[in-house]
Amino acid sequence: MQALLIEAESGGPNGRLYGDTLTTALAAHFVNHYSTASPLDFSSLKIIDRQRLGSVVDYIEAHLSEDIGLSDLALEAGLSKFHFSRLFKAATGLTPHKYLLKRRIEHAAQALQKRAMTLSEASYLFGFTDQSHFTRVFKQVKGMTPKQFVGIYPDTGSNSKASQQTEADFARIHARHTTGGKRL
């Protein structure tokens, strides 16, 4: 509860999805521990079907630089926030928030490896509020800072096909980000 209050008061760097996830967890805790009915039985839950999961993953990939909320993902899956959170974690092993952060870091790491952008550009374009937050999450996911990560890859120049693809991805994300998140 304290984490939710701190996040709400500070306008925190984690975004809406983090706050939505904490709110859902808090609601589940209250229902399970303080309702007069018996605790919720999750044994009958089914794994989220591939089509719904694919739709959510596609949505995440298309909106990596945006502030994605749990309600956005649940709506995409056609499920309630609570039900979606449970099924998503059962299917992927990660909460929606952690999955989103991991995908952002994976994309940023590819761009950094190809030297297609600076650390500050990567943090901005992949939806992090500041470079400090980006560095913290990057280290959690990759086990090293972005600077250390970049240091282990030699600079191959910008003429490679992979580098050109990364630059095209960068241009696409930048264009979407500067047009209010709308697909072009």
| The pLDDT value given to residue 50 | 85
Local confidence pLDDT in tens for the 184 residues of the chain: 566 556 656 666 666 677 777 676 766 665 555 444 444 444 444 567 888 999 999 999 999 989 999 999 999 999 999 999 999 999 999 999 999 999 999 999 999 999 889 999 999 999 998 999 999 999 999 999 999 999 998 776 554 554 555 556 656 655 655 555 544 3
d(CA 41, CA 89): 16
Closest CA to 107 of 13, 176, 173: 173
d(CA 22, CA 107): 25
| The pLDDT value given to residue 173 | 59
| The pLDDT value given to residue 11 | 62
| The pLDDT value given to residue 33 | 52
Q: Which residues contact 42 (CB under 8 A, 6 or more apart)?
A: 86
| The pLDDT value given to residue 7 | 60
Alpha carbon of 9 to those of 1, 27, 33, 182: distances in Å?
12, 19, 26, 29
Burial pattern 123-135, b for ≥16 Cβ within 10 A else e, equals bbbbbbeebebbb
d(CA 182, CA 24): 28
Whole-prediction pTM: 0.63
Measured in degrees and rounded to the nearest 5, phi and psi for residue 30 equal -60, -45
| The pLDDT value given to residue 73 | 97
